[in-house]
Amino acid sequence: MGSGSVGIGFRMKDSSSGYLLLLQQKSGSKKLLRLDRGEETTIAERRDGGYVQGEWHRVRIEAAGGRIKICVGEENETEAEVLTALDESFVSGTIAFFSSGMQDGVYFDALSVEAVACMQLQQLLPPLPPFCSVFVESYFSSVSALYTIIDGRDKGENTGRWEYREEVRGRVKVLSQLHAVRDAAEAVWGVCRWSFWRSVRVGLLGSSFGLDRPKTTPL
């Protein structure tokens, strides 16, 4: 009873740090304060008369992470939401009771603390595959109708040739590039290494290299 203030502290680290729900008769308000080493900051306020003298009031404070919800109702009423806030300054602590200027005293009763049900982890569906263009070679028509062919030329103006071929080493159709024969090259020393796959059944295939001596060109 009285015209002062009454409050409930929660997540209190000590007497000067935590959260305080303050109901004031004189200002006719309900406030949610953040106390940080004695410095007060109002993070939510509702001016609805504060409280009614001579009546029991039911208070429920829900805190989950940084979300805080305050519900208040008179003795025979269901608690209704009056304040909400999002603040992560304090995520744990103890409970405290507060009163000031209550000439005939204030009473607290039926205190209970319950753990909020944990949120169940939800397994998210995998993201949809990206919507991309898809190209499938059909080996139809001619190579030049589908591709832009850029062939480098050697000094002898020899170029490569691109074309579609069928039944090549077990493949039904392939995109084949026939290499141009390059001009002769000279070197003092080196290693000659090459590999081939014969694409015809008849004919000759070989390689020649010369030495810097007359009439001594191995084949």
With H, G, I as helix, E, B as strand and everything else as coil, classify residue 23.
Answer: strand
Q: Is the pLDDT of residue 186 over 70?
A: no
Q: What is the DSSP string of 58-80?
A: EEEEEEETTEEEEEEEETTS--E
Domains of the chain: 5-100 (2.60.120.560), 129-182 (no CATH)
CB atoms within 10 A of CB 173: 14
Residues 143-155 have pLDDT tens digits of 778 777 776 666 6
End-to-end CA distance of the chain: 118
Please tell me which residue, 187 or 58, carries the higher pLDDT value.
58
Q: Is the pLDDT of residue 128 over 70?
A: yes
Mean pLDDT to the nearest integer, 95-110: 87
- pLDDT tier for residue 119 given thresholds of 50, 70 and 90: low
Nearest of 24, 30, 20 to residue 90 by alpha carbon: 20
- This model's pTM is above 0.85: no
Q: Which two tokens stand for residue 135?
A: 């190209």
Q: Which two tokens stand for residue 181?
A: 């024969």
Q: Is the pLDDT of residue 115 over 60?
A: yes
Spatial distance between the Cα atoms of 21 and 107, rounded to a whole number of angstroms: 16
- Total residue length of the chain: 219
CB atoms within 10 A of CB 50: 20
Where helices occur in 63-217 by DSSP H, the ranges are: 143-146
How many angstroms separate the most distant Cα atoms in the chain?
129
Contact 180, 160 (CB under 8 A): yes
Residue type, 217: T
Residue 94 φ/ψ, nearest 5 degrees: -105, 180
Q: Where are the beta strands (DSSP E) in the chain?
A: 5-14, 17-24, 29-36, 39-46, 57-64, 67-74, 80-86, 94-100, 161-168, 171-178
Q: What are the residues facing 42 on neighbouring strands?
A: 33
Mean pLDDT to the nearest integer, 107-134: 77
Q: CA–CA distance from 28 to each of 57, 133, 140 (Å)?
A: 15, 66, 85
Nearest of 55, 53, 69 to residue 21 by alpha carbon: 69
